[in-house]
Amino acid sequence: MKSLFLSLNSKVFLFLSLSVIALFSSKISAQDLDSKVDTVTAADIVLENTTAGEFTPGKGFTIVKTRLGSLNISAYGLARYVNQVDNDPKFLDHLGRERTVDPRQDITWHRSMIWFSGFFLTPKFNYCLTVWSLASTNQTLLFGYMRYSFQKEINVGVGIVPNLGSRSMQGAWPFFLSSDRVLAEEFFRPGFTMGAFVTGEVLPKFYYNFTVGNNLSILGTTVSQLTRDLSTSASIWWMPTTGEFGPRGGYGDFEIHEDVATRFGASFTHMRDDRQTPVSTSAPNNTQTKISDGVYLFETGALADDVTLVKADFDLLSVDAGIKHNGWHLQVEYYFRNISKFDLYYHTEAAEAPSYNSIYDHGFYASLSYELIPKALQIYASASQIFDQYKMKPSEVVGGMNYYPAGTRSLRLNLNVIYVNKSAASSSFGFYLGGLNGMSLSTGIDILI
């Protein structure tokens, strides 16, 4: 399996992208480019989820709609309480060194998003500007994308894009079971970047998405810190029964499918990754990738004492499957990640390289949910297990419930309880700290307008 996904590279990615475009370009006619659409009497434009849930507005409010264009404003907000409990705030990393854990207990207005979206000149040309703010880390960003829809088989765009390494990066947000990802997703997944994409329904009920981006995660990164290497990723998914999987492909069968809905997918990401910081600084700017003890991959000493990893190949393959019926939803995703071709810097003459030249980890999560009271009360359980090269064996079990007071996904109260063993994920975004061994409790309310 390792050799299979390592054989993929950017040339293959480019070839596949051009092949898809060439295959359907003959169907594009002059009438597809006609901008003389009576948008005054036409229905409001609702952007399809062709990039990621984070960049797909809610229905919102249409402010302007003319023949030349439209403007819609939509918003999302999350207020959350998080309490992380670890009776022993110390743990040993994979080299046997003692490290500390600093568990959180806080109440925050955690995440805000405001979308300004619409079309310009023709409904086929869409734009979306996003104001994103994370109060927990005191970060606010403004970004966006533009997309042209030739037809359902080909949509091309440029701007903010996801690296397509996992299912949760491709649309389900904010309709997760809780307000953030589970352990295996958070550990393995890549991040968002700036780049270009092409996506569409290439065959009935069969979809694809290709992206090329600047790096694995653009958050906190300036163009002067980027290298000439680009990230490449691809995803395919098939919904053979009903041809859909609910709004945004969200988790949970809130819609109570009478017919069995199914979704099967596979995703791949490749990047020649870089720490984005001079080796004289021990803490890297690039903190997207962690090793299985929760330590940043590019942190000085992460792989060996007095040694800094400067560059490495990042390859991630994931496969996912889901089924929804009569209020039940079962979702499973398996990940295979290989980090290889180390470029190392030795800080002292006595420093020794690690005894290996690649890191191979794999693992999965499984989630099961049920609509106990349709359109009102949902219960769920999840589990994650990571099988890692360092034999740390991080894992978790999760239980929780969602209450929808307005009978819609757009307003939710959530209770989420996690028991994590040796957390491999670590961030202020989600529920995990590297090395956490204990409980993470959260309650929250979120709204999508």
pLDDT band at 23 (very low <50, low <70, confident <90, very high): very low
For residue 274, pLDDT over 50 is answered with yes
pLDDT at 59: 87
pLDDT band at 64 (very low <50, low <70, confident <90, very high): very high
The enclosing H or E element of 293 equals none
For residue 37, pLDDT over 60 is answered with no
Residue range 199-217: average pLDDT? 97
Residue range 25-48: average pLDDT? 38
Pick the more confident residue, 429 or 274.
274
Q: What percentage of the chain reaches a pLDDT higher than 70?
A: 88
Provide the domain limits for residue 378: 2-448
CATH number at residue 359: 2.40.160.10
pLDDT at 39: 30
pLDDT at 428: 84
Residue range 336-343: average pLDDT? 98
DSSP state letter for 243: S
Residue range 321-328: average pLDDT? 98
8 A C-beta contact, residue 406 and residue 392: no
Mean pLDDT of the chain: 89
What does the pLDDT look like over 79-104, one tens digit per residue?
999 999 998 889 999 999 999 999 99
- Sequence-distant (≥ 6) Cβ neighbours of residue 142 within 8 angstroms: 129, 130, 131, 132
pLDDT at 20: 43
**What are phi and psi for residue 260, nearest 5 degrees?**
-65, 125
Pick the more confident residue, 329 or 89.
329
pLDDT band at 184 (very low <50, low <70, confident <90, very high): very high
Pick the more confident residue, 449 or 55.
449
pLDDT band at 198 (very low <50, low <70, confident <90, very high): very high
pLDDT at 213: 97
For residue 295, pLDDT over 50 is answered with yes
8 A C-beta contact, residue 146 and residue 125: yes
Closest CA to 180 of 428, 383, 404: 428
For residue 28, pLDDT over 80 is answered with no
What's the domain count of the chain? 1
Strand positions, DSSP E, 58-214: 61-65, 70-85, 90-92, 98-100, 105-120, 122-134, 139-151, 154-162, 192-203, 206-213
**Distance (Å, whole) CA 390 – CA 393:** 8
What does the pLDDT look like over 218-268, one tens digit per residue?
988 899 999 999 999 999 999 999 999 999 999 999 999 999 999 999 999
| Amino acid (one-letter) located at 298 | F
What does the pLDDT look like over 365-398, one tens digit per residue?
999 999 999 999 999 999 999 999 999 999 999 9
For residue 5, pLDDT over 90 is answered with no
DSSP state letter for 247: G
Closest CA to 164 of 17, 300, 370, 350: 17
- Sequence-distant (≥ 6) Cβ neighbours of residue 443 within 8 angstroms: 80, 81, 413, 414, 415, 416
pLDDT band at 171 (very low <50, low <70, confident <90, very high): confident
Residue range 270-291: average pLDDT? 94
Residue range 147-168: average pLDDT? 95
What does the pLDDT look like over 113-134, one tens digit per residue?
999 999 999 999 999 999 999 9
pLDDT at 130: 94
